[in-house]
Structure 1
Amino acid sequence: MALVHKLLTGTYSLGKCPKPSIALCPLLGSRFANYCSSSLPKTVAVPDKASSQRKTEGDLQGHHQREVGLDISSPEEKPEVSFDKAIKDEIKDHFRRLKDEIVNHWIGPEGRPLHEVLMEQARVVWQFRGKEDLDKWIVTSDKTIGGKSEVFLKMGKNNHSAVLYGTLSSDAPQDGESGRSGYCAMISRIPRGSFERKKYYDWSQFNTLYLRVRGDGRPWMVNIREDTNIMQRTNQMYSYFMFTRGGPYWQEVKIPFSKFFFSNQGRIRDAQYQLLLDKISSIGFTLADKVDGPFFLEIDFIGVFTDPAHTEEFAYENSPELNPRLFK
C-alpha cells in the first residue's frame, strides 16, 4: 500500500520506478509513457575544486563529451516524477483534439468550408516532406515469421519523397512449418482521434487512386483495408497491381477503385464485393514477386481524384451461385 501511495502522489524516485507502459492506460498516448524520461530536470553540480578539475578534463576531451557529462545526474540526488501532471497534460491534449474535431465538423472537414470539400476533384492524402510524414507508416517483412527479407523506409533527396528499399529473399524459414517466404510491405497507420478513437478516410466522392512513384521495374500489390473493428475483417483487403517502369523518370499511376478485387487471408475469393469508400482505414504496398535481390520504390505522394471518363462501377461479375446475398 505504501508503494501505491507513493506512485499516486508522484513522489516515487526514478531509480526504483520502471518506465510506465502505454498499456497501463490505453486512453492515454505515448506522452504519458515517455514522461519519465522527458520531464526530468537536469541537475547542475555545485562548483568546487573537484568539479573544476573535472570540467577542465572534459574540455580536453571535446565538446560532445562535455554535453554528455552535463546530463549525468549525481547519485546523491533523486529527481521526482509527477505522474499526476503527466496524466493531466495528456487529458488536456485529448480534450483539445476533441474540441478541434467538433469545431471542424461544424466548419467543414479539416477546417475548410463544406462546399469546397464537396466540389473538389482531387485530394492529396499522404505526402512525404519530413520525418513526421514517415511516422504515419510502418514497414514489415517475412522476418516476423523467420524469413531473411529486409525493408527500410527513409526520406528521399531534398526531403521531397519517401524511399522504400531493402532486399527480398524467398528462402523459407527453417522452422519445419513455413514452406513459403519472401515479402516486404509498407502500411499506413490507422488515423486516431481524441482518446485514441479510430478514424477513417471518406473517399466516396472520388473514383480513382492517384500515385506519383518511381521504381525499379518490379510489380507491387496495392492493398486497401476497410473498417477493421469487426473481428472477421482483420484478414480482408482489396488489392490491385501497380507496375513500375524503372529508370530515372517519375510515373503517375491511376487505379480506379472499381478494379480492386476482394481477398481474404491472401486468397482471392470467388464472391467479389465492391469496396466501400466511406470507411477506408489504411493503404499498403506489398512486394512478393519471388525475385531475390535488392529493390526500391520512391513515392512522392498518394492521393485520390475523380476521373470523369471512368464510369465503371464494378469490374467483376457475380452470380447467385457465387454470392447469393447480392441477389436476394
Structure 2
Amino acid sequence: MLQSMQRALQRYVAEVRHATTPRGYSFSHNLVLFDFTKEEVLTEWDCISDKDVGGRSHANLEINGKGTGVLFSGELDLSPPTDLSAKYSGYCAIRSKEKKGGWFERPYFDVTEFDAFQLRVRGDGRRFMINLGYPNMARKDDVWQCFMFTRGGPDWEDIQLPFKDFFVTHRGYMQDDDFSFPRETVATLGVLLADRVQGPFKLELQSIKAVRKLTGFSPVKVIL
C-alpha cells in the first residue's frame, strides 16, 4: 500500500513538472515508458497470436533467462486457420494494457516533449512492427505503425524510431492520412510480427523510451 502511494506521488510530481514546463524544453532527454528488467512489467502487457482466432501461430512473453529483460518468442505459422470464418492469420504480438488513470495519473502516455522512441532489444534478424494505439480513432482497427528491423546476434542494440516515420494503417493496409500522431494521448504500445516468414522467432526487450535529440533524426542503430 505504501509503495503504491509513493509511486502515485512520484507520478503526480512528474505531471506537475510537465504542466509547468514550457513547450520546447524538457527536464530530461529521455522518458522510460517500460523497464523490462522488472518482473512486474509482465502484468502490464498482453501476448496474443492468430491462435486466438483459429490460426496456428503461438507466442509467449516471459522474463528472459538472465533477468535482463523479457523474451517475446514463439512460432509464426502461415497455414490456413482451422476456423474457416477467421479473417486473419500469420501474426504474433504483444501489446501494453491501457492505463486506467487515477487522481495522480493520466490514462495515456504523453510524449509531447520528445521526437522518437528508442527500444533496447536483442532480436533474431526479423522485421517487426511497432504499434501505437489511440482512443477515439476514426475506425476501430486503425493504428499507427513503424517498421523495426533487428540485427540478430548476441549483442543488444538501441533502435531509434522517429515519430515522423509512423504511418496510419487499417487492418494491415497503409492509409492516405498524412498527419502526425497525437503525442499527448498514446494509449498503448505494441510489437507485432507479421512478416509472412514461417518459423520460430524471438525478440528480447530491455526497455522502451521516448527520447529527444537536438538534431534531426535518421533511423539508426547503436550496437553495444
After TM superposition, the score normalised by the length of structure 2 is 0.83
Counterpart in the other structure of 1:244: 150
Which of 117, 120, 123 is the equivalent residue of 1:215?
123
Cα offset, 1:135, TM superposition: 0.8
Give the gaps of 5 or more residues in structure 2.
Answer: 219-224
Which of 82, 93, 96 is the equivalent residue of 1:174?
82
- 1:234 is aligned to 2:159: no
Residues 162 and 181 (structure 1 numbering): CA distance in 2 closer, same or farther, change over 3 Å?
Answer: same
Percent identical among aligned pairs is 30
Residues 176 and 260 (structure 1 numbering): CA distance in 2 closer, same or farther, change over 3 Å?
Answer: same
Q: Residue deviations 1:45-74, cap 9 Å, x none?
A: xxxxxxxxxxxxxxxxxxxxxxxxxxxxxx
Counterpart in the other structure of 1:155: 63
Are 1:223 and 1:285, in contact at CA under 8 Å, matched by a contact in 2?
A: yes
Q: Tell me how far apart the structure 2 counterparts of residues 159 and 165 of structure 1 sit (CA, whole Å).
A: 15
The structure carrying a bigger strand percent of its residues is: 2
Residues 311 and 285 (structure 1 numbering): CA distance in 2 closer, same or farther, change over 3 Å?
Answer: closer
Counterpart in the other structure of 1:315: none
Cα offset, 1:119, TM superposition: 2.1
* Equivalent position SS for 2:78: coil
Cα offset, 1:244, TM superposition: 0.6
Counterpart in the other structure of 1:125: 33
Residues 110 and 148 (structure 1 numbering): CA distance in 2 closer, same or farther, change over 3 Å?
Answer: farther
- Residue correspondence of structure 1 range 1-328 to structure 2 within 5 A: 100=8, 105=12, 107-109=13-15, 118-178=26-86, 181-194=89-102, 199-226=107-134, 228=135, 230=136, 232-310=138-216
Are 1:171 and 1:180, in contact at CA under 8 Å, matched by a contact in 2?
A: no
Cα offset, 1:201, TM superposition: 0.7
Residues 125 and 110 (structure 1 numbering): CA distance in 2 closer, same or farther, change over 3 Å?
Answer: farther
Matching residue's letter, 1:176: L
Residues 291 and 120 (structure 1 numbering): CA distance in 2 closer, same or farther, change over 3 Å?
Answer: same
Give the gaps of 5 or more residues in structure 1.
Answer: 1-92, 313-328
Q: Residue deviations 1:108-128, cap 9 Å, x none?
A: 43889966x932111111011
Q: Tell me how far apart the structure 1 counterparts of residues 163 and 190 of structure 2 sit (CA, whole Å).
A: 14
Matching residue's letter, 1:286: L
Tell me which stretches of 4 or more aligned residues in structure 1 moved more than 2 Å. 107-115, 174-180, 230-234
* Equivalent position SS for 1:132: helix
Q: Tell me how far apart the structure 1 counterparts of residues 106 and 81 of structure 2 sit (CA, whole Å).
A: 35
After TM superposition, the score normalised by the length of structure 1 is 0.58
Counterpart in the other structure of 1:19: none
Q: Tell me how far apart the structure 2 counterparts of residues 258 and 273 of structure 1 sit (CA, whole Å).
A: 9
The structure carrying a bigger helix percent of its residues is: 1
Cα offset, 1:277, TM superposition: 0.4
Whose radius of gyration is greater, 1 or 2? 1
Matching residue's letter, 2:144: Y
Matching residue's letter, 2:206: D
Matching residue's letter, 2:72: L
Cα offset, 1:180, TM superposition: 5.2
Q: Tell me how far apart the structure 1 counterparts of residues 132 and 216 of structure 2 sit (CA, whole Å).
A: 20
RMSD over aligned CA atoms reads 2.9
User: Relative contact order (C-alpha < 8 Å, sep 6+): which is higher?
Assistant: 2
Residues 158 and 174 (structure 1 numbering): CA distance in 2 closer, same or farther, change over 3 Å?
Answer: closer
Q: Tell me how far apart the structure 2 counterparts of residues 255 and 302 of structure 1 sit (CA, whole Å).
A: 11
* Equivalent position SS for 1:194: coil
Q: Tell me how far apart the structure 1 counterparts of residues 81 and 214 of structure 2 sit (CA, whole Å).
A: 48
Cα offset, 1:290, TM superposition: 1.4
Are 2:44 and 2:97, in contact at CA under 8 Å, matched by a contact in 1?
A: yes
Matching residue's letter, 2:90: G
Are 1:129 and 1:160, in contact at CA under 8 Å, matched by a contact in 2?
A: yes
Cα offset, 1:261, TM superposition: 0.6
